[in-house]
């Protein structure tokens, strides 16, 4: 096949995973081309929450998030459940700052890809990648086919030494290459919208740990939790996520549950139809490495395309950014090797590092997903656990992945030991 264009690396999708990979690859001096089907600024259905882990990735990328430019900061989680409320500040860690942030993805993703462009990455917007191109003899992925949606659907091909699927939960390119999702891994579904709220300047992320199908206390408890995050400009992002320990559809009417839940959020938030700004929209969250391998035959997966959302809390941005960073390092190293087999030997370290970093943590997350899949257990945990600050501090560290892997306090050491004791996802 005659290729129209060439690049060292082609990245499919300019979400956080694609932008992170593009930024680092460009900094390594590689020619990186990002193909994005949307045109920026574009929205992405999300809670917009950045935990300290996500902020630590932004700091590494030298991506500034100054409060003077409207980036809000939060300093912990305020959790409600079982008739109790507790505030747990973000811990003081070596590996992460003690603050998080939140900014609408409409703005965040646009700034992030511009940052990657400043580092030297090339971006083509309004381009949908439709499939991979494989070498007819070896079966190795050597490029992509794409359609220019802006220019009457003209088609073209790009040849690359590596192709990266950063296309989010749809993982169209990975699927086209035969990498199906594992139906036995947990899957979340979440809905969110925005409201104008008098409490929009709060500096805590609110979590409502019990999700009732109807009146709290006297209706069915559902597996999942609700959130309210301040995102600046007088707005809060409000949503709820439900979790299933497998990819089987739950049959839950999320919109109905959302309406009921909103009626029970403390009145001072002022959440109602008059203050709502935006549609209620939902999307899936692929968790616990539900699509693998993360690298084989010239094709790498990052972020949601590789099922990297945390089963503990539905957070995916930090892992999207981290996987882009880790992948870029191995691609840069591998391209210093002369033969394909030597390059692939280096590239196999990418999934190994991901597994070493997150495999045990995600296995614990799968146990958690199975437990909260039985909401009566969650109810008991919340009712008897929430009044105990030390226990909640430990739980919050585990749920939000805010612990030091090395040289932490006794809680960090306990979580690290647990992640090492279980098989890796």
Give residues in contact with ligand FAD (CB under 6 A).
12-18, 35-38, 44-49, 54, 128-129, 166-168, 170, 172, 190, 192, 239, 283, 285, 303-305, 309, 314-318, 320
Minimum separation from the CB atom of position 402 to ligand FAD (A): 13
The order of strands in the sheet holding 49-50 is: 49-50, 100-102, 72-74
Work out the angle at residue 389's Cα, subtended by the Cα atoms of residues 383 and 393, and round it to the nearest 5 degrees. 105
Nearer to ligand FAD, 153 or 336 (CB): 153
Nearer to ligand FAD, 49 or 408 (CB): 49
Minimal CB distance residue for ligand FAD: 316
- Scan for tokens 């009732």, then name that residue: 212
Cα 307 to the chain's mean position, in Å?
9
Minimum separation from the CB atom of position 74 to ligand FAD (A): 11
Minimum separation from the CB atom of position 217 to ligand FAD (A): 26
Minimum separation from the CB atom of position 239 to ligand FAD (A): 5
| Other beta carbons within 10 Å of 30 | 20
Contact 285, 316 (CB under 8 A): yes
Nearer to ligand FAD, 173 or 411 (CB): 173
Minimum separation from the CB atom of position 304 to ligand FAD (A): 4
Cα of first residue to Cα of last residue in the chain, in angstroms, is 38
Q: What single-letter DSSP state applies at residue 30?
A: -
| Other beta carbons within 10 Å of 341 | 8
Nearer to ligand FAD, 240 or 346 (CB): 240
* DSSP H or E stretch at residue 235: strand 235-244
Nearer to ligand FAD, 17 or 346 (CB): 17
Minimum separation from the CB atom of position 188 to ligand FAD (A): 8
Contact 350, 327 (CB under 8 A): yes
Nearer to ligand FAD, 302 or 346 (CB): 302
């Amino acid at each position: 096949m005659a290729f129209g264009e060439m690049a060292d690396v082609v990245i499919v999708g300019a979400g956080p995973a694609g932008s992170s990979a593009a930024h680092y690859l460009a900094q390594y001096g590689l020619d990186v081309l990002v193909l994005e089907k949307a045109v920026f600024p574009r929205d992405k259905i999300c809670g917009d929450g950045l935990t300290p882990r996500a902020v630590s990735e932004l700091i590494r990328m030298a991506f500034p998030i100054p409060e003077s430019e409207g980036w809000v900061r939060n300093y912990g989680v305020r959790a409600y459940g079982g008739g109790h409320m507790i505030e747990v500040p973000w811990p003081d860690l070596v590996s992460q700052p003690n603050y998080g942030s939140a900014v609408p993805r409409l703005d965040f993703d646009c700034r992030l890809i511009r940052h990657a462009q400043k580092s030297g990455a090339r971006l083509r917007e309004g381009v949908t990648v439709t499939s991979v191109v494989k070498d007819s003899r070896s079966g190795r992925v050597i490029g992509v086919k794409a359609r220019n949606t802006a220019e009457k659907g003209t088609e073209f091909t790009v040849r690359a030494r590596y192709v990266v699927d950063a296309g989010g939960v749809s993982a169209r390119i990975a699927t086209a290459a035969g990498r199906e999702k594992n139906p036995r891994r947990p899957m979340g579904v979440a809905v969110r919208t925005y409201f104008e709220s008098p409490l929009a300047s709060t500096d805590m992320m609110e979590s409502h740990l019990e999700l009732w199908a109807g009146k709290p206390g006297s209706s069915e408890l559902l597996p999942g939790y609700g959130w309210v995050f301040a995102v600046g400009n007088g707005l809060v992002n409000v949503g709820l996520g439900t979790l299933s320990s497998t990819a089987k559809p739950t049959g839950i009417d999320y919109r109905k549950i959302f309406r009921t839940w909103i009626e029970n959020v403390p009145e001072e938030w002022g959440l109602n139809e008059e203050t709502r700004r935006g549609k209620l929209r939902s999307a899936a969250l692929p968790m616990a490495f539900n699509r693998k391998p993360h690298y084989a035959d010239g094709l790498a997966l990052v972020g949601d395309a590789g099922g990297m959302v945390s089963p503990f809390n539905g957070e995916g941005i930090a892992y999207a950014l981290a996987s882009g960073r880790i992948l870029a390092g191995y691609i840069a190293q591998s391209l210093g090797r002369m033969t394909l087999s030597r390059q692939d030997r280096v590239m196999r370290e990418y999934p190994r590092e991901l597994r070493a970093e997150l495999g045990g943590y995600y296995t614990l997350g799968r146990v958690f997903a199975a437990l909260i899949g039985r909401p009566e257990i969650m109810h008991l945990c919340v009712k008897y656990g929430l009044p105990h600050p030390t226990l909640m501090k430990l739980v919050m560290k585990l749920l939000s992945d805010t612990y030091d892997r090395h040289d932490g306090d006794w809680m960090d050491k306990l979580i690290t030991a647990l992640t090492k004791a279980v098989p890796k996802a």
